[in-house]
Amino acid sequence: MLHKNTNIGKIAFFGVLAAGLVLYSAPAAFAASDVVSKYDTDKDKTLDLAEVKAAAGAEFDKLDADADKTLDTKEAKGALGKKDFKAGDTDNDGTLTKDEYLAIVEQLFKKADVDNEGTLSAKELKSKAGRALQKLID
């Protein structure tokens, strides 16, 4: 038998829906602050370009499976899309050197740094450019 007060059912449904949305969005919120904590060497709760480039350089080395000091599209898969890979491959040789990779990192850093302070907060890392940057450093 249905309960006469259907508002209770609606409240329960929307409560469960809201809880699901919070749980679904929470990892993204925690991820940005985790990235800041992980690479923030000066402990100012932001990432500057030097900290980001150091992390990106280490990530490049991890991605370079064949240790030839370049990334091909297979090695960069998941970190960079084909379009971004091609745009970053300034010498058009089908690979990215560490310098080319770090140039992409710097471009994304500048796009994510919307307040132009020269540092990225966890909030700025949640932007489209910030999320793309996270893929290149972590």
pLDDT tens-digit readout, 39-77:
999 999 999 999 999 999 999 999 999 999 999 999 999
Residues 6 or more apart in contact with residue 101 via CB below 8 angstroms:
56, 60, 71, 88, 136
3-class DSSP state of 111: helix
* Cα-only R_g, the chain: 20
d(CA 60, CA 101) in angstroms, rounded, equals 8
Residues 6 or more apart in contact with residue 95 via CB below 8 angstroms:
70, 71, 72, 89
Question: Which residue type is seen at 121?
Answer: S
Q: Quick check: 113 and 121 in contact, CB under 8 A?
A: no
pLDDT (0 to 100) of residue 5: 54
- Averages of pLDDT over runs of 10 residues in the chain (138 residues) are 50 40 42 93 98 98 98 97 97 98 98 98 97 96
Local structure of residue 3 (DSSP, 8 states): -
d(CA 5, CA 69) in angstroms, rounded, equals 67
pTM of the full predicted structure?
0.78
